[in-house]
Amino acid sequence: MDIYAVVGNPVSHSKSPKIHSLFAAQTGRNIDYTAIQAPLDHFQNTVNDFFQSGGAGLNVTVPFKEQAWRLADERSDRAQVAGAVNTLSRSQGKLHGDNTDGTGLVRDLTENNQIAISNKKVLILGAGGAVRGVLLPLVQQQPELLVIANRTVAKAQQLAQMFADFGALQASRLDALTAPFDIVINGTSASLGGAVPAIPPSVISTTTVAYDMMYGTTTTAFNQWAKEQGACLTLDGLGMLVEQAAESFAIWHGVQPETQPVLDLLRRGS
């Protein structure tokens, strides 16, 4: 039986063991996938122990994604620019790092929800690790415009510069936004505290799709706000979570699992 795990701190709430077990059952694979809580100052030892004892693949979650990036001997292009790694595997003695978060976000929008990104005006809120982690796959969809808006505008400007070679990116302050966007993605951590980034309501029109990269058992604060401003659709990050897991599964097993049945199960809370 191949051994996989997600490593984080805290990690007991992680849905990854359940998602990967469902993918394995669906594709006829026999895997053991657990959650490992690494001490905050022992991430590297935890990873080394895992692979030395025969582990086949590791997902990495908060707060270790940047450390995983540094630890990897090789990185995919999307992980390289993301500055963070959420999927580790080892082959020929080398640790390979990938980042499937952005692909997960794009697939959830374009495939699960049939929301095209190309030629659309897209706003992403936040300029921390979560946003940097998804920018390359997002900009590769070739939106007409991608605006990164952040409370601390200098961080948005830094990201816009960093990704300038890949497409049309602009940086903005939150309160300087005016015209409505086709898609507004919340990549800030504000929802964790039940807060909403201070953006003008005019960014939302009746044709705007609002997407919160966070999810919870009830509607997130951002999605609730977007609904009140008249957004035509609000989506939370559960679909992104399942899609990033599917992409990790595909890296390890060479087969793309079906995500919709797994997402349906999670939505039903079972």
Point out the residue whose Cβ comes nearest to ligand ATR.
128
**Of 55 and 129, which CB lies nearer to ligand ATR in the complex structure?**
129
Among 164, 195, 232, 255, binds ligand ATR (CB under 6 A): 195
**Of 142 and 189, which CB lies nearer to ligand ATR in the complex structure?**
189
121 torsion bin: left (phi>0), alpha (psi -120 to 50), beta (else):
beta
**Of 168 and 192, which CB lies nearer to ligand ATR in the complex structure?**
192
| Alpha-helical regions (H) of the chain | 16-27, 43-52, 65-71, 77-82, 101-107, 129-132, 135-139, 153-162, 221-228, 238-253, 260-267
Instruction: State yes or no: residue 143 binds ligand ATR (CB under 6 A).
Output: no
- Which residues from 214-233 bind ligand ATR, rule CB under 6 A? none
Instruction: State yes or no: residue 126 binds ligand ATR (CB under 6 A).
Output: yes
Q: Is 121 annotated as catalytic?
A: no
- CB of 74 within 8 A of CB of 80? no
Cis peptide before 180 (omega within 30 of 0): no
**Of 49 and 175, which CB lies nearer to ligand ATR in the complex structure?**
175
- CB of 148 within 8 A of CB of 124? yes
- CB of 28 within 8 A of CB of 46? no
- Which residues from 172-191 bind ligand ATR, rule CB under 6 A? 188-190
CB atoms within 10 A of CB 30: 8
- Which residues from 27-56 bind ligand ATR, rule CB under 6 A? none
Instruction: State yes or no: residue 81 binds ligand ATR (CB under 6 A).
Output: no
Work out whether strand 183-186 and strand 169-172 pair parallel, antiparallel, or are unpaired.
Answer: unpaired
Instruction: State yes or no: residue 127 binds ligand ATR (CB under 6 A).
Output: yes
Would you give the binding string for ligand ATR spanning residues 146-175, x where CB under 6 A is met?
----xxx--x--------------------
Residue 167 CB-density burial (10 A; 0-12 exposed, 13-18 middle, 19+ buried): middle
CA torsion through residues 265, 98, 110, 121, sign: positive
Instruction: State yes or no: residue 137 binds ligand ATR (CB under 6 A).
Output: no
For the annotated catalytic residues, the residue numbers are 65
- The residues of the shown chain that bind ligand ATR, judged by CB under 6 A, are 126-130, 150-152, 155, 188-190, 195, 197
